[in-house]
Amino acid sequence: MVTWVLVVVLAIAVAVLVVFVAGYNKLRAADVRADEALGGIDVELTRRASLIPALVHTVTTFAAHEQAVLDRVSAARAALDSATGGTSVAARSAAEAQLDTAVGQVLALGQSYPQLSSSANFLDLQRTLTDTENTLAFARQYYNDAAATVNRLIGTIPWMYVASRAGVSQREYYQTPR
């Protein structure tokens, strides 16, 4: 009888250990996927920011007296560079919104300067920025999906009991800049 009880207790202890290890690994894997997805956003934001000097140079060639607009774009790019690589999703989103506004003003200069609109460099940069924005939208969605997976796991039994031990916490969703 005592042997039977010990076997049952040992089986229960092993089952609890297996569930804990499986939960720990599942939570850590989901957290790593969310970090990778956030890194993907950083890559695309950096790619877009690297296009800004060429855009500024092209616009300066045709509209040198629009220095205030060009300065805003440079400042927004610097803010985005400092926001990427950090831990704050909100800081990335705010810096991205600032850059979107500034780039929008530069691209609007193309309407004011017909020779700029017809420049092959300007048109190529516009196309590249559009492609980058499409890739960035996908990266944002991928991150939000990964964050939703982490948040869903943390909020469900039995994973919620393992989350604090695994060092996994709720993820902030990436808000699209407006």
pLDDT of residue 107: 81
66-95: buried (b, 16+ CB within 10 Å) or exposed (e) per residue? beebbebbeebbebbbebbeeeebeebbbb
List phi, psi (to 5°) of 143: -65, -45
Each residue's pLDDT expressed in tens, for the chain with a length of 178 residues: 778 888 888 999 999 888 888 888 999 999 999 999 999 999 998 898 888 888 888 887 777 667 778 888 888 888 888 888 777 888 888 888 888 888 888 888 777 777 777 778 888 888 888 899 899 999 999 999 999 999 999 988 888 888 888 888 899 998 876 6
Percentage helix, strand, coil, to 5, in the chain? 85, 0, 15
Could you say which architecture CATH assigns to the domain 1-166?
Up-down Bundle (1.20)
pLDDT of residue 51: 86
Which residues have a Cβ under 8 Å from the Cβ of 37 and sit 6 or more positions away?
139, 142, 143, 145, 146, 147
Q: Rounded CA gap, 109 and 63, in Å?
A: 8
List phi, psi (to 5°) of 10: -65, -40
Q: What is the residue extent of each domain of the chain?
A: 1-166
pLDDT of residue 177: 66
